[in-house]
Structure 1
Amino acid sequence: HPNWCVLCVYYLVAFLHTKHRTTFRACALILICLAFLLSSIAGNLVGDVKMPRTLTTIWSKLGIKDEFAVHPVCSGCHRIFSPDTGPKSFCPNCEEEVFGPPIEMTDLVDLLLEENVEKPPPKPQPNLVAPIQLLSEGLRGFFKRPGMVSAVNAWKDTKDDPNGDFRRIQDGEAWKTIKGPDGTSFFSGPGSEKEIRLGVSFGFDWYV
């Protein structure tokens, strides 16, 4: 951004959200207040530049994109639907509506964000959503980072503890004995020197 003052605001709000979990509405309130203050003080630091008013705009201006897709979820049986599911959809399992009524403006931030321009009516929102990233997509992004290939193979250059102590996951019995397609050790077999072999663990948080 050509205006250094506005750019500082971009980074400040992005940092507060990612580091300290500042909510979207709190970020919007910060942006509105800073825009008012910066335009009111002597010299009008922002000039004629229109300050962003939402965190979504900040992401767009900084070129930051989510690494996951937001999927509608049935609030009754928790069935997951495709992100492009229509707003009039019903769950085939329990016949619950997937989307609820449009969110109406109810608080101060909404009123401050409202401008005297004609806007399209708000869209129906899912009653429940889940951010999901496919494992294949996560691994693709992981290995795009410099040094990751060397990092995941670094354990091969570390010897087992001479006293037999378990100091890392590679010291466990499962890591050493799990078989690959050729019947040899998946992680240490002959084919492991020619390719990256990863172990993926899944955790489940059950509730009633």
Structure 2
Amino acid sequence: MARTSGPETREKLIRAGEEVFAEQGVDGAQLRDIVRIAGQSNPSAVQYHFGSRGGLLDAVMAARQERTELVLADELERVGDGAGLRGLLGALVAAEATELRTERGRRCLRVSAQLSHESGVRTRTPHPTIDGTVYWRLIGLVEDCLTEAGLPEPLRLERLDLALTLVGAALGDRARQYLAGTTPLTDERLFLADLVETTAALLRAPRPHLGDAS
């Protein structure tokens, strides 16, 4: 009989969750498929170890965040204080792109692309998996750049959320292509450089001046 307790089983369920959430979608994933792929005989194994589907999803994202945190910290140290918007975005994209190197990371990028809107940026309440992380600190540094550019708070927060969604969607799609064996239109170096420039352009767009609509 397969084990239904212990750290080994927990890790098996996380790995299976990565696979199923990536292939079936966060909302469409079947827990029975996760349990089966993890080799568990107890149909309530997910609930036993994580409390719920959401608990397992948080564990999947926490594991992914842990892998990229150290890279992001090194990237921020490399660009140094006063890096500016482009330097900060370059550090973010470089760290997130390390997930493209492994099949596991690619699956996790596909999952996290579905969750970028849950970061908590718009309400300034970080999701528990990123609260207190280097990632959340970087978001604050990017917002500082937008504040210096004179953007009002609602517009800053909305653009930040859109920018994170863009980065997540782009990397998630690249991961999908790699997993499917599809040849991308551009090589990875150009793709990542263009993602930085595109995201910077979104954030740097001039503040709209709305005329009289009457």
TM over 0.5: no
- TM-score, structure 2 normalization: 0.28
TM-score normalised according to structure 1 size: 0.29
- Greater RCO (CA < 8 Å, at least 6 residues apart): 2
- Max radius of gyration: which structure? 1
